[in-house]
Structure 1
Amino acid sequence: MAAVFEKPPLLQRIAPSLHGFDGPLAFAVFLLACAGLLTMYSSGFDHGTRFADHARNMLLAGFIMFVVAQVPPQRLMRFAVPVYVVGVALLIAVAIFGITKKGAKRWVNIGVVIQPSEILKIGLPLMLAWWFQKREGQLRPFDFMVAGLLLVVPVGLIMKQPDLGTSLLVLAAGLAVIFFAGLPWKLIVPPVLVALVAGVLLIAFEAQLCAEGVRWPILHDYQQQRICTLLDPSKDPLGKGFHIIQGMIAIGSGGLFGKGFMQGTQTHLEFIPERTTDFIFAAYSEEFGLVGTLLLIAGFIFLILRGLAIALEASTLFSRLLAAAITMIFFTYAFVNMGMVSGILPVVGVPLPFISYGGTAMVTLGMGLGILMSIARSRRLVQT
């Protein structure tokens, strides 16, 4: 009788939940998470409980990934419209009666204080993928116009807060969906050419455009200052250019093999600002050098390629577009963070995935990974 009621081993009970998980994707995330813990221990060991909190955030992201991975893509599609509508409504609430901190109005109190822009990192690609799934086989220019409107509304509200970093991530995810849905090249090439020409003109006339008293009508003052600082950080080496200069010094001083684990002078003498968050890539490069940096970049490239492979193998248009957009979020996170620390992009508040400290960003990453796992899992379950 005892044998009848005997429970199976724990591993046997959870095995069905793990069946179909994408091994290569999980391996890439594991390696990046290990690099993140190693770097956080070095850069944040004297920074309160940063290392322990970072490890806790990773466990939370892993749990969220596991839970979301159990939800089939067809069920995820049902959440697209409600999540998008709630997210945009909360962004409007932020604009009307949001909470202002450090000159930015990004939070709203609904019983708990939340940052609604984080919802749109996942909610916008969900919505756009749902829209193109509904229009599959009958796409017209009007459908792309509607998608553009769905994209512009939340991005505009986020930029108004202002939050340039988050708006770039949301914009990149949305543009990825629209591009992979089949946006005609004749609509892609003109804005790309305009952006290239604007960049060349900005560099050529930097002295006049960044002169004292000149104001750019489109951007906020602090955004203009960040671009001008990027073009010539030596103008204010102890002020606005300090972050970029110290980041580049740390990266360059690492040499080929780095100064060694916990041996970074720029890091531990606190020359690198925000060394556990936005500028942790500089701390990593100083201690692990060019070789370590190339290995880290290779890890991100493998993660991105695996995400695109999952998108390519997905069984529905919704799954393909959503997987591609989530992958582009990871690419944008990594590219923008490394670019701003290296001095090739303006400084914006974008963390380095799995490496930088930050609970909210880690939750978003966990949800994104869970969606990728769900799409990969559904495909494998169908094949078996």
Structure 2
Amino acid sequence: MSANFDRTLSNQDVLRRRASLLQRLHIDGLLMLLLLVLAAGSLFILYSASGKNWDMLIKQSTSFGIGLCGMLVIAQLEPRFMARWVPLAYLGVVGLLMVVEFMGHTAMGATRWINVAGIIRFQPSEFMKIIMPMTIAWYLSARVLPPGLKHTLISLALIVVPFVLILKQPDLGTALLVMASGAFVLFIAGLRWRWILGALAALVPVAVAMWYFVLHTYQKQRVLTFLDPESDPLGTGWNIIQSKAAIGSGGVFGKGWLLGTQSHLDFLPESHTDFIIAVLAEEFGLVGVCLLLLVYLLLIARGLVITVQAQTLFGKLLAGALTMTFFVYVFVNIGMVSGLLPVVGVPLPFISYGGTSLVTLLSGFGVLMSIHTHRKWIAQV
């Protein structure tokens, strides 16, 4: 009996030391585990979706490594330190977006990248997905909440500037996500419901104005294709039709790894980026998709727990906005690929190929870890 009791105490001491080590390193164990699971699954799926392209796999692995290092570095920074530098970061990214406007790199008909000496190419708009909610959280956390009309208008102005710059690239999907990330902070801050309902009512005239004066021809065609994909099955409707075919053909258990026909026979375009979940559904079926959604759900749930446990207003606003924005990324991509939403070019988080997007997402989870592991900081920003 005594030996068993001593062994139990010993096991508890080991667990306590492990927890202490993670806390000292400012790492949230559950978040790290879930992200590593996604990383492994991503490379597994990408190998098939890219047609066994090892170069693409190595680049994605390198991006994961860089992103994880960035995440761990950001997790060491106290929230008050990040809040201090948020205004400068916002101005810096807006400046990069203006550089894109005048001398950006053009690919596939869009100017969204900055090419540094032909070696490094990155997309500044991805960084704004994190900087935007940080900026609005920094601004509102120093004000009386719920925000009044003045502070709401200033927050909206901070959101509109990068929104317009990204929209002109053109990149409607990223522009909407950036706008949503800032709007979520306003919502969490207690924005008055009558203003929210007024904004929803204004969506109709705004949407009409955007249709006639803002949207490009290909963006209008995406909306029309969403409403009736069969109207142009060999043209603009091809992507969504083939995507649905891939998802439906997978059944419950899928055809098996590397045995998908839609992607390997080149019926499914962009199979390694925006439409990669169609490859997953075809090869691993409903079971594979549900397992992926379970990992996403656990990540979102952990983010909400961190939001509730945050000890500062800045931390609560930022953690809540980052978590809700991550949910929107997942929802929009899956809705787009399954035909429930128009195609807007939003990658599937951690699964789709893309270096800048991957590093940005991991940086966001680094911010969540920082908020959670620096909870002893209780000074108001």
- Common fold by TM > 0.5: yes
2:29 is the alignment partner of 1:23 = yes
2:86 is the alignment partner of 1:80 = yes
2:308 is the alignment partner of 1:312 = yes
Do 1:353 and 1:362's aligned partners in 2 also have CA atoms closer than 8 Å? yes
Letter in 2 for 1:69: A
State the partner residue of 2:157.
149
Letter in 1 for 2:368: L
Give the drift of 1:139: 3.6
Rounded to whole Å, the distance in 1 between the matches of 2:36 and 2:122 is 29
- Paired residue secondary structure (2:140): helix
State the partner residue of 1:38.
44
Do 2:132 and 2:182's aligned partners in 1 also have CA atoms closer than 8 Å? yes
State the partner residue of 2:77.
71
2:106 is the alignment partner of 1:100 = yes
Give me the identity figure in percent: 46
- Paired residue secondary structure (2:106): strand
TM-score by length of 1: 0.86
Give the drift of 1:329: 2.7
Q: What are the ranges of 5 or more consecutive residues in structure 1 without an aligned counterpart?
A: 1-10, 203-214
- Paired residue secondary structure (2:212): coil
Do 2:329 and 2:346's aligned partners in 1 also have CA atoms closer than 8 Å? yes
Rounded to whole Å, the distance in 2 between the matches of 1:244 and 1:155 is 27
State the partner residue of 2:187.
179
State the Cα RMSD in Å.
2.5
TM-score by length of 2: 0.86
Q: What are the ranges of 5 or more consecutive residues in structure 2 without an aligned counterpart?
A: 1-16
Q: Extract structure 1 runs of 4+ deviating beyond 6 A.
A: 196-199
Rounded to whole Å, the distance in 2 between the matches of 1:48 and 1:55 is 10
Do 2:335 and 2:341's aligned partners in 1 also have CA atoms closer than 8 Å? yes
Letter in 2 for 1:29: L
Give the drift of 1:66: 0.8
State the partner residue of 2:347.
351
State the partner residue of 2:297.
301
State the partner residue of 1:56.
62
Give the drift of 1:228: 0.5
Over 3 Å counting, the alpha-carbon distance change for 1:26 and 1:380 in structure 2 is farther
State the partner residue of 2:13.
none
Letter in 1 for 2:82: L
Over 3 Å counting, the alpha-carbon distance change for 1:50 and 1:93 in structure 2 is closer
State the partner residue of 1:376.
372
Do 2:146 and 2:190's aligned partners in 1 also have CA atoms closer than 8 Å? no
Give the drift of 1:70: 0.6
2:261 is the alignment partner of 1:265 = yes
Rounded to whole Å, the distance in 2 between the matches of 1:341 and 1:46 is 22
Which of 266, 281, 286 aligns to 2:282? It is: 286
Over 3 Å counting, the alpha-carbon distance change for 1:114 and 1:260 in structure 2 is closer
Do 2:25 and 2:76's aligned partners in 1 also have CA atoms closer than 8 Å? no
Give the drift of 1:53: 2.0
